[in-house]
Amino acid sequence: MADINLIPQTSKVSQEVTKKTNTLGSVLKLFIVLLFVSLFTSATVWGIIYYRLNQVKKEHEKLKTEVATLKKSESRFVLLRDRLEKISKIQSEYNISGELETVKDLSLNITSPSLIKSLKIDPNMVEVEVETDSSLNITKIFSQLIGSGKYNRVSMLSFDYNPATSYLVTLQIIK
């Protein structure tokens, strides 16, 4: 059969246009492939960045809790250091170890019916207020303190008697 072409020759697309259209189609396909590759790469990079960001956030929270814990510990250490400085300052200003020995002697010498009501400790002396139900106990306390030979002076600052309660004696002991 004969090849019959009903399309006019003027409307026919030239071979050059067909070639350019095929080339543009190939270029378009290449751009589409490159677009999908770049989208896939971008999505992958975004996923990796998102994952790393979450890891960094978790690490940041962990470090914040560690810092908070360390701040508490540090504040305890600062308070402890401050207390130790104050204690050593007081110890250097007032060496009362001898007076504490006097208090120890007093507590051993004062027996059950007698009671220490108040105690004042200064660097060179101890002042004690003793309540007892018998004047013999007062004599016993005096004789034990003076008889020990450890003290330069034992003075009675006050002596009160209330028949309803008991004797109340204030002693000053100087080493």
The secondary structure of residue 13, as a DSSP letter, is P
Query: Taking a C-beta distance cutoff of 8 angstroms, is the pair 154, 142 a contact?
Result: yes
For residue 19, give Cα distances in angstroms to 8, 12, 15, 118.
20, 14, 6, 117
pLDDT for position 116: 82
Exposed e or buried b per residue across 118-152, where buried means at least 16 C-beta atoms within 10 angstroms of its C-beta:
eeeeeeebbbbbbbbeeeebbebbeeebeeeeeee
Longest dimension (CA), the chain: 156
Asked if residue 132 has pLDDT above 80, the reply is: yes
Per residue in 70-94, pLDDT (tens digit) is 898 888 888 888 988 988 887 776 6
pLDDT at residue 121, as a whole number: 81
Burial of 174 (0-12, 13-18, 19+ CB in 10 A): middle
Determine phi and psi for 14, rounding to 5 degrees: -75, 160
Q: What's the pTM? A: 0.45
Name residue 15's amino acid: Q
Q: Which CATH architecture has domain 97-174?
A: 2-Layer Sandwich (3.30)
What is the residue-averaged pLDDT of the chain?
85
Amino acid 98: pLDDT: 67
Could you tell me whether strands 153-161 and 115-121 are parallel, antiparallel, or unpaired per DSSP bridges? unpaired
Q: Who wins on pLDDT, 152 or 53? A: 53
